[in-house]
Chains A and B, each alone.
Chain A
């Protein structure tokens, strides 16, 4: 399985500001994914990030709020823009495994917005 590093591991932010979360993987992967996990809930896919193309967003998530970059096959960023307390969540990145269907996850970024 891939080794996935997320930064920061946690942050406390003021409303109205933006936070960029980084995801680094130790091998080249075609597809990377960003999820949100709200307190006490399951994971919800925000978007799929492919290198060389714009991210594909799921219903309820828009690029202006969650811009994503994918500059190469080992790195991606997710920005949470103009944050409000409702954005307080765990944000997780994942990558496809060699079996393509499996996804491996980073440890997540725990975001609190005051």
Chain B
């Protein structure tokens, strides 16, 4: 089976609860951030993005918060569902370029 999440930090939540996944980035020059969801056996799927001129952006059931002062990014998932179980990666880029640098990832497990 897939071993993507074997060494990753894990967040376990109850179905229906809200999830918060955190990401620290190191490059203060990064100005664009993305969250990806990777299910077992699949490639990363785009969830939501945010530029550095914003501190919050909302999508459908997801919210991304950006704190540039402490170089911290979070993904909030409302009313977490079993289908949200996956590995979540943040990624950053600099200067409008295309090169993405990925964070270490967090395994989200939704318990029924």
Q: Which A residues form the contact surface with B (CB < 8 A)?
A: 1, 4, 31, 33, 37, 39-45, 48, 90, 92, 94, 96-97, 100-108
Q: Are B99 and A101 in contact (CB under 8 A)?
A: no
Q: Report if A39-B3 is in contact (Cβ < 8 Å); known contacts: A48-B98, A96-B98, A103-B98.
A: yes
Number of interface residues of B (CB under 8 A): 28
Q: Report if A102-B34 is in contact (Cβ < 8 Å); known contacts: A41-B7, A42-B102, A96-B98.
A: yes
How far apart are the CA atoms of A22 and B99 in the complex, in Å?
21
Q: Are B43 and A108 in contact (CB under 8 A)?
A: yes
How far apart are the CA atoms of A110 and B105 in the complex, in Å?
19
How far apart are the CA atoms of A102 and B99 in the complex, in Å?
10
How far apart are the CA atoms of A42 and B98 in the complex, in Å?
18
How far apart are the CA atoms of A101 and B4 in the complex, in Å?
25
Q: Which of A31, A44, A90 counts the most B-chain CB atoms under 10 A from its CB?
A: A90
How far apart are the CA atoms of A73 and B96 in the complex, in Å?
21
Q: Are B102 and A102 in contact (CB under 8 A)?
A: no
